[in-house]
């Protein structure tokens, strides 16, 4: 329990650090939201000065940061210049879509990778294992964008999948069931791409951990005791292999989120990705920071979740306080 409190405290410090760094980086980059308005002859320089003052951009760095922290405390996460609205409500629905995408993709990737990796480790050195190694190498070498474009091409040619968006107009307001079904179909494309992106890494980790576990003395001993194949794999080898995989699970949840930002832009999923891109181009500072903070928050919570699961899974960590 003490450990958990400590970890949560550490994570919060990390998040504060990330926010400070994001502020500094944006401060260092040239130009701001209002610079583009200079090019517009209809806006006078007095108006610009006034606008800057109105949004607090004339204040020194530290004051702006403290203002932002205050607005975080109010649950607003700053103010968007482009949307003329607080950032938090703006991010909320987008973040929900992104989480839906990243969560489903994580689930799908793990559901495929676990049995595949375990089987691959058991067939270590056989054709199934060599074939899957080759496949993972090819997948690893393929750029993410190419995968997304490939799937888009597939969707356009075959019309099996929608080519973008989250819901078709025809399905809107036609009952919960129709909407859910429609969202699921729209979700399928980006989820497949994201799952394919994280699959090779997961597969390789699971395979390596299982091969090591299968060679461990306790599994050899279990074999010598006449224990059958499935029980060896699930009751003996898998629990031994599980620790690094649990940490990987937490990490994969967070890392998939950043991968999903790119895929969202390519496959026009209305998540954080397109919003982040838009606000970076427009230098809508607080939206950028909000999105970055959301991504860091998910990564940190993923790692925290991994640690908590690890404590639950391995009795040695509970009693010896190894962490």
Partner 1 sequence: MPDARKPLLEVRGLCKIHRQGRWWERRFQVRALHNVDLTLDAGSTLALVGESGSGKTTLAMCLMGLERPDAGDIRFNGESLREQGRCERARNIQLLFQDSAGALNPGMSAREIIEEPLLILGKEKGGPRRGRVSKAMEQVGLPASWSHRRPYQLSGGQRQRLAIARALVVEPRLLILDEALAGLDLSIQGQISNLLLDLQAAHGLSYLYISHNLALVTQFADEMVVLHKGQVTKRLIASEMIVTSKEPAALAGMSMAARALGAHAGTGAP
16 or 218: CB nearest partner 1: 218
The DSSP element (H or E) to which 85 belongs, if any, is: strand 85-86
Cβ 204 to partner 1, closest distance in Å? 19
Paired with 80 in beta bridges are 85
- DSSP assignment of 44-78 equals -HHHHHHHHHHTTTTS-HHHHHHHHHHHHHTT---
Paired with 114 in beta bridges are none
Cβ 216 to partner 1, closest distance in Å? 6
53 or 220: CB nearest partner 1: 220
70 or 235: CB nearest partner 1: 235
Using alpha carbons only, give the angle 280, 267, 117 rounded to the nearest 5 degrees. 110
Cβ 316 to partner 1, closest distance in Å? 5
Chain centre to alpha carbon of residue 219: 35
Chain centre to alpha carbon of residue 129: 29
The whole-angstrom separation of Cα 158 and Cα 211 is 40
What residue ranges bind partner 1 (CB under 8 A)?
125, 216-218, 220-228, 231, 235-236, 239-240, 314-316, 319-320
Cβ 214 to partner 1, closest distance in Å? 12
- The number of residues in the chain equals 323
119 or 227: CB nearest partner 1: 227
Chain centre to alpha carbon of residue 251: 9
173 or 319: CB nearest partner 1: 319
Cβ 306 to partner 1, closest distance in Å? 18
75 or 226: CB nearest partner 1: 226
Paired with 86 in beta bridges are 79
Cβ 129 to partner 1, closest distance in Å? 12
2 or 225: CB nearest partner 1: 225
The whole-angstrom separation of Cα 218 and Cα 273 is 47
For residue 268, the 8-state DSSP code is T
The DSSP element (H or E) to which 86 belongs, if any, is: strand 85-86
Paired with 79 in beta bridges are 86
Cβ 212 to partner 1, closest distance in Å? 12
127 or 177: CB nearest partner 1: 127
The whole-angstrom separation of Cα 307 and Cα 272 is 27
Task: Locate 95 and state its tokens.
Answer: 């973040």
Beta strands in 108-194 (DSSP E): none
Cβ 224 to partner 1, closest distance in Å? 5
């Amino acid at each position: 329990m003490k450990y958990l409190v400590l970890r949560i405290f550490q994570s919060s410090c990390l998040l504060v650090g990330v926010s400070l760094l994001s502020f500094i980086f944006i401060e260092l980059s040239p130009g701001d939201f209002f610079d583009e308005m200079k090019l517009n002859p209809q806006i006078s320089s007095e108006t610009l000065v006034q606008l800057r003052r109105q949004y607090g951009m004339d204040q020194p760095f530290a004051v702006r940061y403290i203002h932002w922290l205050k607005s975080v405390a109010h649950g607003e996460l700053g103010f968007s210049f482009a949307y003329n609205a607080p950032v938090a409500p703006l991010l909320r629905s987008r973040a929900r879509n992104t989480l839906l995408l990243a969560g489903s993709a994580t689930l799908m990737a793990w559901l495929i990778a676990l049995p595949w990796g375990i089987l691959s480790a058991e067939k270590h050195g056989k054709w199934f294992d060599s074939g899957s190694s080759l496949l993972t190498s090819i997948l690893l070498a393929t750029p993410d964008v190419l995968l997304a474009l490939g799937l888009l091409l597939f969707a356009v040619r075959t019309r099996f999948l929608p080519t973008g968006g989250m819901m078709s107009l025809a399905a809107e307001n036609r009952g919960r069931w129709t909407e859910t079904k429609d969202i699921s179909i729209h979700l399928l494309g980006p989820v497949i791409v994201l799952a394919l992106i994280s699959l090779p890494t997961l597969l390789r980790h699971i395979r390596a951990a299982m091969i090591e576990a299968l060679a461990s003395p306790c599994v050899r001993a279990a074999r010598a005791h006449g224990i059958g194949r499935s029980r060896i794999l699930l009751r003996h080898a898998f629990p031994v292999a599980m620790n690094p995989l649990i940490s990987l699970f937490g990490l994969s949840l967070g890392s998939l989120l950043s991968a999903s930002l790119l895929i969202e832009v390519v496959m026009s999923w209305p998540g954080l990705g397109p919003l982040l891109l838009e606000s970076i181009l427009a230098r809508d500072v607080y939206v950028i920071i909000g999105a970055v903070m959301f991504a860091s928050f998910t990564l940190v919570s993923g790692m925290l979740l991994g640690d908590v699961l690890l404590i639950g899974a391995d009795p040695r960590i509970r009693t010896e306080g190894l962490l």
